[in-house]
Structure 1
Amino acid sequence: MFISIFGAMESGIIYAIMALGVYLTFRILDFPDLTVEGSFVTGAAVAASSIVNGIPPITATILAAFAGFIAGCLTGVLHTKGKINPLLAGILMMTALYSINLRIMGQPTISLLQETTLFNQLGSLWSATGIDAFLNNILSTIGLEQLPTTWAILLVMIVITIIIKLLTDYFLKTEVGLALRAIGDNKKMVRSLSANTDLLIIFGVGISNALVATAGGLIGQLGGFADANMGLGLIVIGLASIIIGEALFSTKTIAKATLAVILGAIIYRIIVTLALRIDFMETGDMKMITAIIVIAALVIPRVLQARKENRRRQQKRAQLDQQLRGSSDA
């Protein structure tokens, strides 16, 4: 059980980067962008192809982010300059990226099991320090289960995700970030102030897909492969992470909202992992589990809010009845 939850947290913290990208388009820009299902694979394809061709993993990950940025910018151009509906623009770009990703990889799947990835390097570096052996000895002494061999990867990914979160928070408080938030609230008002809304939308969608592609590159290296179909249903995962985070945690400020998205992504992965441990559940049921999680995250808070509102009305009615009785007795 511990190992399963640990693995869920490990992948969840990487998917949190993807969820932050989805948050930028769906919540900040109010732009329903389906490009992410293609740009996620693009990130994995570029990273895997680069590593196979001898490029250092860190450079390959940066190239993956840049490729995602370009894909997002193209979606923004289709919408702003081509006057195409944002949903349709995302679908068109996602469709085009499927073929582009196959071109990048040269085949449907690229294996990284025999290659040196970013996580291989981190694991080797951590083992060389002897810290993992030291901690495992302590855990063995007090009778606890030893840490998984990849715990250092989780630690490093937490640090990386927190850095990306802080950079996102800072970006959304800059002049450009505030303009993007304003566009999501009232595009016409921002345009009336002579702001170049088209350029801002293109840039915002590009940044969003850069984060998604970064997550794709990292997931590809973590799993040891890049596949042309690994982005299927990704938009639902991103939305599920956002919805769960917003349902469980406060989102009154940008900092709290981005933290809620990260925690939502981790919780989502843990829920899916625990659900798949049920005897009658199979791996193929993952899409159904995701749908159930999203439905629950959407419906339960509303039901609880409705009950709370009904309880408040009943209390108010009871107080009013008591006041009326007191005035009639007088």
Structure 2
Amino acid sequence: MFSAVFGSVEQGIIYAIMALGVYLTFRVLDFPDLTVDGSFVTGAAVAATMIVFDYHPLVATLTAILVGFFAGCITGLLHTKGKINPLLSGILMMIALYSINLRIMGLTSENSVGRPNIPLLNSETIFSKFQGFWSNLGIDETINGFLAGLGLEHLPTTWGTVVLMILVVVIIKFIADWFLQTEVGLAIRATGDNKKMIRSFSANTDTLVILGLGISNALVAFAGSLIAQYGKFADNGMGIGMIIIGLASVIIGEAIFGTKTIFRTTLAVVIGAVIYRIVLGLSLRVKILDSGDMKLITAVIVIAALIIPQILEKRREKARKAKRQAKRMAMKSSQGGHSVVEAGSSQ
């Protein structure tokens, strides 16, 4: 059980980067960007292809981020300059990326024909390089020895992966917090709230939308490149439903932790992604469910995350109304008592 939760936390931390990208478009820009399903695979495809060609994993990952940014900018151009509906522009880019991703992975084949997947079983990745450094420090053995002393099951020696991803996600989270409070970040937030208002201040909303979509898909592609290196393969079907996973993470986090400040909201999104992976991992351990039910489980989690907070809020509102009603009745009864006393004293 503990091992399953540990694995879910590992993946949840990586998916948190994608969830932050989805948060930027759906919550900050108020833009339903379905490019995510394609740009996630694009990040994985670019990173895997470059790693196969013996590029350093860090260079491959940075290139994947740039390509993801470019894909998001194209979606923004389709909407702002092409005057295409936001939802449709994302769908069009997602469809285009499906073929582009096949071409990118096809570069590793002899005839450069489209290829649906790339294995990285014998290739060095960011995680394997950092894990080797981490293992040389002997920290994995110390941690697992401590867990064994507590009676917990032995875990794979991947603590280095968790530490690396926590550091990366924390850095990205604080950069996002800082960026959203800069002049450009505030303008992007204002564009999502009210385009007409921000235009009245002579701001170029088209540029802001393109920039926001570019940053969002850069984060999504970054997550895709890390997932490919973590799972040791890139596949053209691995992006299916990514937008739902991102939305589930955002909704779960916001429902539990709220959205009062930017710091709190981005933290909620990160933790929401981890919670989502843990719930999904534990659900798949139920005997009547298998890996083919993952999308169904995702749908149920999202539905629950949307409905349960509404039910709880209705109950809290009902309790508040009852409390206010009781207070009014108490005030009326006290006023009635004072009236009786005053009437008796006047007689």
State if a TM-score over 0.5 links the two structures. Answer: yes
4+ runs of 1 displaced by more than 2 Å?
133-148, 318-330
Contact 2:44/2:64 (8 A) holds in 1:
yes
Supply the distance in 1 between the matched residues of 2:35 and 2:18 (Cα, whole angstroms): 12
Residue 114 to residue 175, structure 1, CA distance change in 2 (3 Å): same
Contact 2:44/2:228 (8 A) holds in 1:
yes
Supply the distance in 1 between the matched residues of 2:142 and 2:6 (Cα, whole angstroms): 20
Supply the distance in 1 between the matched residues of 2:73 and 2:306 (Cα, whole angstroms): 31
After TM superposition, the structure 1 = structure 2 runs for residues 146-295 of structure 1, keeping only pairs within 5 Å, are 146-295=154-303
Which residue of the partner structure matches residue 16 of structure 1? 16
Q: Secondary structure at the match of 2:180?
A: helix
Contact 2:2/2:152 (8 A) holds in 1:
no
Deviation at residue 136 of structure 1 after TM alignment: 3.2
Q: Secondary structure at the match of 1:318?
A: helix
Which residue of the partner structure matches residue 110 of structure 2? none
1:263 maps to amino acid: I
Residue 310 to residue 43, structure 1, CA distance change in 2 (3 Å): same
Supply the distance in 2 between the matched residues of 1:219 and 1:115 (Cα, whole angstroms): 14
After superposition, what is the alpha-carbon deviation per residue over 1:261-291, rounded to whole angstroms, capped at 9, x for unaligned?
0000000000000111111011111111111
Q: Secondary structure at the match of 1:83?
A: coil
Residue 269 to residue 141, structure 1, CA distance change in 2 (3 Å): closer
After TM superposition, the structure 1 = structure 2 runs for residues 45-64 of structure 1, keeping only pairs within 5 Å, are 45-64=45-64
In structure 1, runs of 5+ residues without a counterpart are: none
After TM superposition, the structure 1 = structure 2 runs for residues 130-145 of structure 1, keeping only pairs within 5 Å, are 130-141=138-149, 143-145=151-153
Contact 2:23/2:250 (8 A) holds in 1:
yes
Supply the distance in 1 between the matched residues of 2:183 and 2:301 (Cα, whole angstroms): 36
Supply the distance in 2 between the matched residues of 1:143 and 1:310 (Cα, whole angstroms): 46
Supply the distance in 2 between the matched residues of 1:87 and 1:319 (Cα, whole angstroms): 49
Contact 2:29/2:189 (8 A) holds in 1:
yes
In structure 2, runs of 5+ residues without a counterpart are: 107-114, 341-347
Which residue of the partner structure matches residue 34 of structure 2? 34
Supply the distance in 2 between the matched residues of 1:139 and 1:326 (Cα, whole angstroms): 62
Which residue of the partner structure matches residue 65 of structure 1? 65
Supply the distance in 1 between the matched residues of 2:132 and 2:336 (Cα, whole angstroms): 82
| 1:128 and 2:136 matched | yes
Larger deviation, residues 122-131 vs 229-238? 122-131
2:180 maps to amino acid: L
Q: Which of the pair has more CA radius of gyration?
A: 2
Deviation at residue 210 of structure 1 after TM alignment: 0.1
1:73 maps to amino acid: C
Supply the distance in 2 between the matched residues of 1:170 and 1:214 (Cα, whole angstroms): 19
Deviation at residue 135 of structure 1 after TM alignment: 3.3
Supply the distance in 1 between the matched residues of 2:32 and 2:288 (Cα, whole angstroms): 35
After TM superposition, the structure 1 = structure 2 runs for residues 290-329 of structure 1, keeping only pairs within 5 Å, are 290-329=298-337
Supply the distance in 2 between the matched residues of 1:229 and 1:236 (Cα, whole angstroms): 15
After superposition, what is the alpha-carbon deviation per residue over 1:132-164, rounded to whole angstroms, capped at 9, x for unaligned?
223334444555433421121011100110001
Q: Secondary structure at the match of 1:173?
A: coil
Residue 227 to residue 260, structure 1, CA distance change in 2 (3 Å): same
CA RMSD of aligned residues (A): 1.3
Supply the distance in 2 between the matched residues of 1:326 and 1:143 (Cα, whole angstroms): 62
Between the aligned residues of both structures, percent identity stands at 61
Deviation at residue 308 of structure 1 after TM alignment: 1.0
Deviation at residue 129 of structure 1 after TM alignment: 2.1
With the length of structure 1 as denominator, give the TM-score of the two structures.
0.97
